Amino acid sequence: MTLVSAFHVLSVAFFMGLLAAAPVGPVNMMAIRRGIAGGWRHTVACAIGSIAADLTLFSLALLGGHYLVPGLSRPAVQEVLEAIAAIALLPPGVYFLALAVRDPRRAYRMARNSARGPVPAHLTGFLASHLTGRLAGDAAEGAALTLFNPLTMLFWVGVTSSWLPFAVSVLGPTAPEWGFLMVAAGLIAWFAGLTVAVRAIPRRIGPIFFRLANGILGLILLGFAVFCAILVYRHFPH
């Protein structure tokens, strides 16, 4: 293991967490709305719930990959994981890039309306907010919106499938633990920045900010998908 390779693997895991939190969607919109209306602590509460849910999904993806770790050096196993990553990452990559290219105000309004929807309240938010307070309700709603988002599930399946084989080859059996820590750091970094923005410039957070985030996310996801597709292509005889 070289220091450069280890840094590469860990930095990719960090950006996986950062990109999981970044796209415009119900969680970010709810965190901003609640923070502007009730103070930055509500943004933090939403963030805690969302981070916990993202780490849960990533852990489930790692758990599935754990059973493949002994065979990750086999080309057939790597080919399957690369194909899964390419298939899973292509649709959300196109989706987020399209959101960035199209009218950003439309995507912003859609996400804002989703954040007001009844789904999280029916799942957990209503109960939590009445039993343990509004902050706990915010955290529960953030977790529900993340856990039950199909794009989030696809994201974690895709990036974990593409990251895990390389990580194990560099870090060995400790790759899942290091990945968990770095993904958590990426998630925390995004929501820490969002909390600072809500506290410092609450009225200036708008469509252009999220358009940039969606565009970057879409390009990176497409890059991951194309890279994995090229790897799969190389396995076939020519």
pTM of the model: 0.67
Question: Residue 77: what pLDDT?
Answer: 65
CA 92 to chain CA mean position, Å: 11
Residue found by looking up tokens 């993202």 in the block: 54
Which residues are CB-contacts of 219 (< 8 A; sequence separation ≥ 6)?
Answer: 93, 97
Q: What is the count of structural domains for the chain?
A: 1
* Beta carbons of 69 and 173 less than 8 angstroms apart: yes
Distances (CA, A) of 217 to 23, 81, 109, 221: 7, 21, 19, 6
Q: What is the pLDDT along the chain (238 residues), one digit of tens a residue?
A: 577 788 999 999 999 999 889 876 778 877 887 887 778 898 999 999 999 999 998 998 888 766 555 555 566 766 776 777 677 767 777 876 776 676 555 555 555 554 454 434 444 444 444 434 578 888 988 888 788 777 788 788 888 887 888 888 888 888 889 999 999 999 999 999 999 988 887 666 666 666 776 677 677 768 777 877 887 777 676 5
Pair of tokens at residue 211? 């358009």
For the stretch 92-139, pLDDT in tens is: 778 767 766 765 555 555 555 544 544 344 444 444 444 345 788 889
Per DSSP (E only), the strands in 48-175 are: none
* Beta carbons of 35 and 43 less than 8 angstroms apart: yes
Which residues are CB-contacts of 182 (< 8 A; sequence separation ≥ 6)?
Answer: 10, 11, 13, 14, 16, 17
Residue found by looking up tokens 């529960």 in the block: 140
Question: Residue 232: what pLDDT?
Answer: 73
* Beta carbons of 104 and 209 less than 8 angstroms apart: no
Range of the domain at 120: 3-235
Pair of tokens at residue 156? 């974690």
